């Protein structure tokens, strides 16, 4: 392996399987790279080299004992800090969980390890996955490896940055309204949000249960497909996981998009989009068209209502999900003299949660409260139905739907923190896939120059529910043709 930093998960897996490299060697290399670049990036919240090397040694021992090496044998993987890894501090980047050590592994962790992957550490994110810039972490923001003064996106900013900076070839994140795809776009890597229900959410610290979905970050669509194949499938521990069979996703990557119908919601993507993003989007469509795909105009009439519907639904669900953080069962308990149980709850929550989490709990509580439920929450759920119908109709004419991932390139740290609404508006192109439950992916789609920085732009595709094969085929074909660099130059 000449350049292990740049190696794909698949290449590492092949080398470890063929015993050209050991999992321990690969892990040690990754740990060195993390140690070198983490002070500048803050992408990892926790790396325990001894623990990681012990996990790698177990993989080597299994291979030495003649066991099947697994689809991700020896591949170092970074885990967003809202996913439970047994015995490993899991904070959701919140002070309220600063000392939490889960007594169990999330289902995705069990499946990654069964496939031979090596968990190397936990990545930074927005607190409880609430944010689009990673600036809501209680442990400091992540910096974009392509331009350190800018945000890597959020909420899975640490996972995206770790893959873009070649600290690891693979990471897991979670996507509630774009939290995998938008940071993938900002960091110039691949980010996949599977169909709702495709991947078990057991062991994911819940934010908005009807929208949350776990997915991979990688530098190639092929690695994302490989990883989804490992983590997908029904799970008795998650009643919302789907029984839908998981097809052979690697076999779907034929490189052939001839006759593929690519739907473009022209009206929706024509307004409020940065010129550079627009140019990159048009160029990406042209690449697919030249490869034999057919561009078709579609309409998603309710997509412009996606952001308001999303922020009412997700905050309502969050206000309910985050009620569990009360200083009793786990996490932070206020030291303030508490006059009884209720006061203890209130002090612990007020001291433990950060500003954005409080804001969302407040908004969610408001829209669920008597007198506002019908006008806000119920209305948003009805609009969600209309948006799902828009997608159903669009998929009659198209096999995949293309959009920019973000209307703007990576912005400066601190640029939008004073105005939460402005931050929310930038989620316009990602939230609708979550509301409709469809799978969507962001692939590197070019670069734009801004104030002397060369910034990555993501190209987003969505497909019918459970049609990840078509989604990945189109994304992979595009990536092979466009071949944008996916590793940020060392800063």
Site residues for other proteins, window 395-454 (CB under 8 A)? 420-421, 424, 435, 437
Nearer to other proteins, 161 or 471 (CB): 471
Cβ at position 239, least distance to other proteins in Å: 5
Distance CA 487, CA 491 (A): 11
Instruction: Establish if 373 lies at the interface with other proteins (CB under 8 A).
Output: no
Nearer to other proteins, 369 or 491 (CB): 369
Instruction: Establish if 366 lies at the interface with other proteins (CB under 8 A).
Output: yes
- Among positions 383, 403, 461, 474, the unique one binding other proteins when judged by CB under 8 A: 383
Instruction: Establish if 272 lies at the interface with other proteins (CB under 8 A).
Output: no
259 by DSSP, 3-state: which?
coil
Rg of the chain, C-alpha, whole Å? 21
Asked if 171 and 77 touch (Cβ cutoff 8 Å), the reply is yes
Would you tell me how many other CB atoms lie within 10 Å of the CB of residue 42? 21
- Among positions 227, 242, 406, 486, the unique one binding other proteins when judged by CB under 8 A: 242
- Among positions 120, 361, 431, 443, the unique one binding other proteins when judged by CB under 8 A: 361
DSSP state of 201: -
Distance CA 75, CA 95 (A): 31
Instruction: Establish if 70 lies at the interface with other proteins (CB under 8 A).
Output: no
Mask for 324-353, x = binds other proteins (CB under 8 A): --xxxxxxxx----x-xxxxxxxx-xx--x
Q: Which two tokens stand for residue 105?
A: 């592994």
Cβ at position 370, least distance to other proteins in Å: 10
190 by DSSP, 3-state: which?
strand
Q: What is the β-pairing status of strands 76-80 and 170-175?
A: parallel
- Among positions 380, 403, 428, 440, the unique one binding other proteins when judged by CB under 8 A: 380
DSSP state of 414: T
| CB within 8 Å of 172: residues ≥ 6 apart | 77, 78, 79, 80, 83, 108, 112, 159, 214, 215, 216, 217, 227, 231
Nearer to other proteins, 169 or 327 (CB): 327
Cβ at position 272, least distance to other proteins in Å: 14
Distance CA 230, CA 110 (A): 10
Stretch that binds other proteins, among 130-138, 184-192, 357-365, 478-486 (CB under 8 A): 357-365
Asked if 407 and 448 touch (Cβ cutoff 8 Å), the reply is no
Strands (E), 125-283: 170-175, 190-193, 213-218, 261-264
- Among positions 18, 64, 386, 397, the unique one binding other proteins when judged by CB under 8 A: 386
Which of positions 278-307 make contact with other proteins (CB under 8 A)? 302, 305
Q: Which two tokens stand for residue 196?
A: 């709702």
Instruction: Establish if 238 lies at the interface with other proteins (CB under 8 A).
Output: yes
Which of positions 105-164 make contact with other proteins (CB under 8 A)? none
Instruction: Establish if 100 lies at the interface with other proteins (CB under 8 A).
Output: yes
Q: What is the DSSP string of 434-473?
A: HHHT--EEEEEEEEEEETTEEEEEEEEEEESTT-HHHHHH
Cβ at position 463, least distance to other proteins in Å: 15
122 by DSSP, 3-state: which?
strand
Q: What are phi and psi of 339, to 5 degrees?
A: -90, 75
Terminal C-alpha separation, the chain = 24
Instruction: Establish if 311 lies at the interface with other proteins (CB under 8 A).
Output: yes
- Among positions 362, 392, 414, 449, the unique one binding other proteins when judged by CB under 8 A: 362
Cβ at position 245, least distance to other proteins in Å: 13
Would you tell me how many other CB atoms lie within 10 Å of the CB of residue 256? 13
- Among positions 128, 139, 207, 376, the unique one binding other proteins when judged by CB under 8 A: 376
Asked if 188 and 489 touch (Cβ cutoff 8 Å), the reply is no
Stretch that binds other proteins, among 51-59, 161-169, 285-293, 373-381 (CB under 8 A): 373-381
Size of the site for other proteins (CB under 8 A): 74
Instruction: Establish if 375 lies at the interface with other proteins (CB under 8 A).
Output: yes
Instruction: Establish if 32 lies at the interface with other proteins (CB under 8 A).
Output: no
Cβ at position 359, least distance to other proteins in Å: 6
Stretch that binds other proteins, among 61-69, 164-172, 292-300, 379-387 (CB under 8 A): 379-387
Asked if 325 and 353 touch (Cβ cutoff 8 Å), the reply is yes
Distance CA 288, CA 292 (A): 7
Instruction: Establish if 193 lies at the interface with other proteins (CB under 8 A).
Output: no
- Please list the active-site residues: 80, 155, 179
Nearer to other proteins, 254 or 382 (CB): 382
């Amino acid at each position: 392996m000449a350049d292990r930093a740049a190696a794909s998960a698949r290449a590492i897996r092949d080398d470890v399987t063929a015993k050209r490299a050991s999992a321990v060697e690969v892990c040690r290399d990754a740990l060195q790279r993390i140690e070198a670049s983490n002070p500048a990036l803050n992408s990892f919240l926790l790396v325990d080299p001894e623990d990681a090397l012990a996990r790698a040694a177990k993989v080597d021992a299994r291979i030495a004992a003649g066991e099947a090496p697994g689809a991700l044998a020896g591949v170092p993987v970074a885990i967003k800090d809202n996913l439970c890894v047994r015995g490993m501090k899991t904070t959701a980047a919140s002070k309220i969980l600063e000392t939490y050590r889960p007594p169990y592994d999330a289902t995705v962790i069990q499946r990654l390890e069964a496939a031979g992957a090596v968990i190397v550490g936990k990545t930074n994110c927005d607190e409880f996955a609430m944010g689009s810039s990673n600036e809501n972490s209680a442990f400091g923001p992540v910096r974009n490896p392509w331009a350190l003064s800018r945000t890597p996106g959020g909420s899975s900013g640490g996972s995206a940055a770790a893959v873009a900076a070649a600290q690891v070839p693979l990471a897991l994140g979670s996507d509630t309204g774009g939290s995998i795809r938008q940071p993938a776009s900002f960091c110039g890597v691949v980010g996949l949000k599977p169909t709702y229900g495709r991947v078990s959410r057991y062991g994911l610290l819940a934010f908005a249960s009807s929208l949350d979905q776990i997915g991979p970050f990688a530098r190639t669509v092929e690695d994302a497909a490989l990883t989804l194949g490992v983590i997908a499938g029904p799970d008795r521990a998650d009643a919302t996981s789907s029984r839908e069979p998981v097809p052979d996703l690697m076999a779907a990557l034929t490189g052939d998009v001839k006759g593929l119908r690519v739907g473009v919601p022209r009206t929706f993507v024509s307004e409020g989009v940065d010129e550079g993003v627009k140019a990159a989007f048009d160029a990406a469509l042209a690449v697919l068209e030249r490869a034999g795909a057919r561009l078709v105009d579609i309409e998603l009439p309710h997509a412009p209502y996606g952001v308001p519907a999303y922020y009412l639904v997700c905050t309502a669900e969050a206000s309910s999900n985050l009620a569990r953080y009360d200083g009793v069962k786990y996490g932070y308990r206020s030291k303030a003299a508490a006059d009884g149980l209720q006061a203890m709850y209130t002090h612990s929550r007020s001291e433990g949660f950060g500003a954005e989490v409080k804001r969302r709990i407040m908004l969610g509580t408001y829209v669920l409260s008597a007198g506002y439920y019908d006008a806000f929450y119920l209305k948003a759920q009805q609009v969600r139905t209309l948006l799902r119908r828009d997608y159903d109709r669009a998929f009659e004419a198209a096999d995949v739907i293309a959009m920019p991932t973000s209307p703007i390139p990576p912005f400066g740290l601190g640029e939008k923190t004073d105005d939460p609404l402005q931050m929310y508006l930038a989620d316009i192109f990602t939230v609708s896939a979550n509301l409709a439950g469809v799978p969507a992916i962001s692939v590197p789609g070019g670069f734009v120059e801004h104030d002397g920085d060369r910034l990555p732009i993501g190209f987003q595709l969505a497909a019918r529910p459970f049609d990840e094969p078509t989604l990945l085929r189109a994304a992979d074909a595009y990536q092979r043709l466009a071949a944008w660099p996916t590793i940020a130059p060392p800063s």
